[in-house]
Structure 1
Amino acid sequence: MLKDEVRTLSYRQAIQNNPHLFRDKVVLDVGCGTGILCMFAARAGAKKVIGVDMSNIIDQARQIVSANGFDDTITLIKGKLEEVDLGLGPNGKVDVIVSEWMGYFLLYESMLDTVLLARDLYLAPGGIMMPDSATLYLSAIEDQDYKEEKIEFWNNVYGFDYSCIKDIALREPLVDTVELRSVVCDPAMVKQLDLLTVKKEDLSFTNEFRLRATRNDYVHAFLGWFDIGFEACHKPVRFSTGPHSRYTHWKQTVFYTPETLAVSEGDVIEGRLSCAPNTRNPRDLDITIKYRVDSTEAIEGEMQYKMS
């Protein structure tokens, strides 16, 4: 994660370019990891920074904080946010919450539930969330070579029918880097989150989309990514995980369709995307994409995917 320059430098820029938001403030870092965001906040002038993480990495984070001279400013606490004492006293609040909570396709294995809990329990009125906006996008791509290699392969495995495995492979979204030249359609926004107001129940949603083809081509899959914004700043900062942007460790998420869709420039793929935490494991995602192509040969379909 530290080597993901897009992610790390965006957080640094948002924090250090807006020191007035941190000067003499109390800051909470949810899922602090090695403490890099804590140290950005301390360097920006925070009076007190509290980092919480339940993993053993916090033991190394304490050494890192000490080695960089922030012992008096940063307090690191090991445990679950809902179980630990932040040392704020009765009705204690924080002025800023920072967190790198995002997962693949924004919400897979994300820590957003915990961040929202922290907001509701500890953020002072008028407090700031960093980041404070997240936007999920969908497009469509041509990806014949990979689909034939990884999906169609199961139709004939050394002369045997393994097509039942093909169905399993289709339902597992692929997290990978996609080249911009593979993108066939303009993107559509399918979900926008305001981190100051979003509720846990808002993370289960169904939204419609319209994708307009930008050229004559074939569509083998839908493609998802997200943008992140630090908007409530004098100097806003944004970054994208899309195929048009620099590489991030989130890459993009590919949802293959059973059939190949032929589109001409100007054709529209209409559809509906549903996303919800899995009922048995809330860190997994159940995603359904229903789609229809209005072209010379109208095609429609529906696929249920699971990120696990």
Structure 2
Amino acid sequence: MANTVAGQPSLRANDRLAGMEHSEVHYFNSYNHHGIHEEMLKDEVRTRSYRDAIYQNKHIFKDKVVLDVGCGTAILSMFAVKAGAKHVIGVDMSTIIEKAREIVAVNGMADKITLLQGKMEEVQLPFPKVDIIVSEWMGYFLLYESMLDTVLYARDEYLVPGGLIFPDKASIHLAGIEDGEYKEEKIGFWDRVWGFDFTPLKRTALTEPLVDTVELKAVVTDPTPVLTLDLYTVTRSDLVFSVNFVLNVQRNDFVHALIAWFDIEFSKCHKPIRFSTGPHTKYTHWKQTVFYLNDALTVEQGERIYGTLENKPNDKNRRDLDIKIAYRLGTEDPGRQAQGKCEYKM
């Protein structure tokens, strides 16, 4: 696996994967850090897509009341004002909103943007309804530590009939990868550590997906979509799902892991705008999510990997995920027949 930063995701995932106590408070506190916002603002794919979706559709935003859910530094709020919005309300739990107020003021938009610190479910908006909701709500694996629940609450509580959501469509995709060298470095390491058997930690490592950048040449199968969300109709119950998938093998190789990424669409634009976080496109701070299999699959071109992906929010914290992947190799070679089931926690 190439282009990794010490094999580590950004701060919010680092804390989780390092086993720190995790809570909703910690989640919001993580967004107090300057570095997270720097990383997101420098993510050109992310920020440019939102900017283009708003700027290229000024006829949609003109004279509208806009709600920015999880506004952070208020970059989306300012895009909306530039596009002609009558007023924008930004809501965020993090103390970064204090800096956002300063940013809005120095850009001469304090009369157009109202920033509220608090939970979306608890703040009092200055308008009873809004015409448009904008939000960058996506987390790793789309749903890990995402703000989708909050966006859905805002949709049901504040969006006028016929109102718009930017973005409004999201899909998760899977593929199989060859990643033996990196798996050995990250997982095999625990077999022998300074002369001692550390395999109990190996079992733990296998249950923790990595957030990392995967090179396209490592991908062994065709990608397949496993979940599509329409933000106008999706409900919280839809985020608990079990879906079957089939991966078509493209070459003779090994499959050490499955990777997941997501695609985003602003479908209500005059010209639809989309971006992907997959290995086939430009870097984004979401990278890809890597689920290592217990044992490598030996695959040949034309074969298929059949599987089931199960996802549900963790019972203790809905921003965390419990994920199960069952798989079997469709092959007529009895020496390579294999199947397994893995459980992961994000």
Task: Name the TM-score class by shorter chain.
Answer: over 0.9
In structure 2, the partner of 1:85 is 124
What SS does the aligned partner of 2:100 have?
helix
2:99 counterpart of 1:60? yes
Which one-letter code corresponds to 1:298 in the other structure? Answer: Q
TM score, norm. by length of structure 1: 0.97
2:73 counterpart of 1:34? yes
For residues 1-308 of structure 1, the aligned pairs below 5 Å read 1-88=40-127, 92-295=128-331, 296=333, 297-307=336-346
Distance 2:136 2:149 in 1: 13
Distance 2:94 2:315 in 1: 25
TM score, norm. by length of structure 2: 0.87
Following TM superposition, by how much is the alpha carbon of 1:208 offset from its aligned partner in structure 2, in angstroms? 0.5
Following TM superposition, by how much is the alpha carbon of 1:159 offset from its aligned partner in structure 2, in angstroms? 3.4
Distance 2:200 2:117 in 1: 45
Distance 1:52 1:281 in 2: 21
Q: Which runs of 5+ in 1 are unaligned?
A: none
Aligned length: 304
Following TM superposition, by how much is the alpha carbon of 1:65 offset from its aligned partner in structure 2, in angstroms? 0.7
Q: Which has the higher helix share?
A: 2
Distance 1:16 1:129 in 2: 15
What SS does the aligned partner of 1:261 have?
strand
Distance 1:264 1:51 in 2: 52
Which one-letter code corresponds to 1:59 in the other structure? Answer: E
Distance 1:130 1:96 in 2: 8
Distance 1:157 1:29 in 2: 48
Which one-letter code corresponds to 2:105 in the other structure? Answer: S
Following TM superposition, by how much is the alpha carbon of 1:187 offset from its aligned partner in structure 2, in angstroms? 0.7
What SS does the aligned partner of 2:225 have?
strand
Following TM superposition, by how much is the alpha carbon of 1:156 offset from its aligned partner in structure 2, in angstroms? 2.3
Distance 1:245 1:12 in 2: 19
Q: Return structure 1 stretches of 4+ with deviation > 3 angstroms.
A: none
**Percent of residue pairs identical:** 63
- Give deviations 1:170-200, integer Å, cap 9, x for gaps: 0000000000000000011110000011001
Distance 1:166 1:73 in 2: 53
What SS does the aligned partner of 1:38 have?
helix
What SS does the aligned partner of 2:71 have?
coil
